[in-house]
Each structure stands twice: as structure tokens, then as C-alpha cells.
Amino acid sequence: MSDAAVGFAPVADAAARVLILGTLPGRVSLARREYYAQHRNAFWPIMGVLYGAGPEIPYPQRLQRLCAARVALWDVCAAATRPGSLDSAIDPRSVVPNDFSAFFDAHPRIAILCFNGAAAESMFRRLVSPTLGAAPSRFELRRLPSTSAANASLCHERKLAAWTVGLQWGRPP
């Protein structure tokens, strides 16, 4: 597989209140055309506990359950060059960010941006925030621990606890 990666369309409906942002799909996700398809990634098991959108149900139903919970899913990068699947391997000069201005115009109820790890937050702040003018101040920005298996510093239970608090609406955790 080439090192060039092109991301996916957002998963969102007009009622979305929370947007979960990753960096860019990894190789397994790209091959399967599914967000967080790597079976060792904790994302879908966590979504299973929180929204009934676990890996035991078909992917389209998982996406429907997230939308029903008013949770949207996307990545910061529309495209980038990355050998392998690690965020640290993304060539920063190659990153093409997604069109967040258009996305936020189409989804005006989004109030909370949750970053799936530090790399997603850093890329968003560096590449996207400056293009949005005053718009970022309308959002609560929350960095959550990466659900990637590469983030072995936290066990599944600690990731789940952080995501449970991080995805609560209202005041920032």
C-alpha cells in the first residue's frame, strides 16, 4: 500500500452536538473503509459501553447509533503521507486538513470537539484553528487519551473512564 492516505467523509447528521476527531485512518481502516477498524483499537469497545455501538454489531449500525446519540466522527486530515499507521509517522508537510468551515456551517449545533489523542488536537490547533477566525471559541475543546493500541500507557479501563467523562455534555471535565 502507498504511504499516501486519503481520509473518509464525516459521519454526522444535523443534530450532532459532539465531534470526535482523529488524525487520519490507519492502514487497516483504509483497507476496510471503516473508522477505527484495527481490532486492537479501543474506540469501538468504548463506544459500545457508552452508546451501544460496539464492535459486535455491523459497522453501519455503529455509525447510526453514534448519530442517534448526536455524536459526529471525522479526522483532522483529509489526506497526508504516512508510512504505516502511527500518528508520529505522518509527514507534517504533506497534511491537507479537512474543510472544517464548511462542516461547521452545515452542523451548527456542534458544541464540543473531542480529540482522540494529542496528535489530533495538535494538528487541529496548528492547521485548522487559524483558518476559522473566532469560530474555535464557540467550542469546548477536549483532548481524550488516544484509543490506539499504540497508546499502551493507559489500560482499557482508564481510557474508558476518561472517554466517559470527556463525552459528557455541559461543562468541560
What amino acid positions are annotated as catalytic residues?
41
Please report the DSSP string for 137-148 in residue order.
Answer: GGSEEEEE---S
Task: Tell me how long the chain is.
Answer: 173
CB atoms under 10 Å from CB of 51, counted, come to 17
Q: Helix, strand or coil for residue 85? A: coil
The three three-digit cell numbers of residue 113, written as one number: 470537539
11: which DSSP letter?
B
Instruction: Report yes or no: 47 and 102 within 8 Å, Cβ to Cβ.
Output: no
